[in-house]
Structure 1
């Protein structure tokens, strides 16, 4: 899959090295929820840092901000940050709600 906008990308890497690429958080979450790949078969779940789109970070420890300001490719309106202070700066500028990984997983179930 070609990413529509690299600021919103995500991927799952399996233990065998197969890579699944997603262009929005909601697509990533739907894939994980689908059980197409078992939890044991997943080696990494990675998310693009909104401020540094060339950088992937561990999705399970990233900080998420949901705001209508962010026009994501599949309309989740959720972006990820590897640094909480950067998230707070964007939240102050654009509003929205902070989500941790557990809240994100729960929201998309």
Structure 2
């Protein structure tokens, strides 16, 4: 019995160390590459990160890349622990997608061209909206928007391949 009690503290510490942290991993700009498009993550204003419940981390150079990755089903939605995006007004500071609002504006160019930025602060969002125009979206609306654009792109590619 005494030897069993001696094993409990190390076992408890081991189990704690296996627990997945609910926080994002730092993104190494200029070094990490996007899990979706494979480009180097360079612009801290548009970066994003997904962490699974098992602790696997996927980093993205643009919010639209993370949205497309989620839509692709490469990771089941029930296996996702958290999704984070960089706050455009506080470049490099990551917030959960539930904590931000998104701005889609052709005048605020993102690395992959769907031009989606995130703002954790309502005042910063309104300033950007006044300066750049566009549409304000929630995360679910971002997923719908990226899904629509993805279908359009696939449709256009198919039309070009089959035209005579």
TM more than 0.5? yes
Displacement of 1:61 after TM fit? 3.2
SS in 1 for 2:78: helix
Partner of 2:106: 68
Pairwise CA RMSD of aligned residues? 1.1
1:19 and 2:57 correspond: yes
SS in 2 for 1:44: strand
Q: Decide which of 61, 68, 80 is 2:118's aligned counterpart.
A: 80
Aligned length: 109
User: Could you give the per-residue CA deviations for residues 48-83 of structure 1, whole angstroms, max 9, x where no partner exists?
Assistant: 000111210011331111111211110011100011
Normalised to the residue count of structure 1, the TM-score between the two structures is: 0.93
1:56 and 2:56 correspond: no
Displacement of 1:91 after TM fit? 0.6
1:37 and 2:75 correspond: yes
Q: Distance in 2 between matches of 1:93 and 1:72?
A: 16
Q: Distance in 2 between matches of 1:36 and 1:85?
A: 35
Structure 2's unaligned 5+ residue stretches are: 1-32, 34-39, 148-164
Point out the structure with max Rg over C-alpha: 2
Partner of 1:46: 84
Q: Distance in 2 between matches of 1:25 and 1:86?
A: 18
Runs of 4+ with >4 A deviation: none
Which has the larger share of strand? Answer: 1
Normalised to the residue count of structure 2, the TM-score between the two structures is: 0.63
Structure 1's unaligned 5+ residue stretches are: none
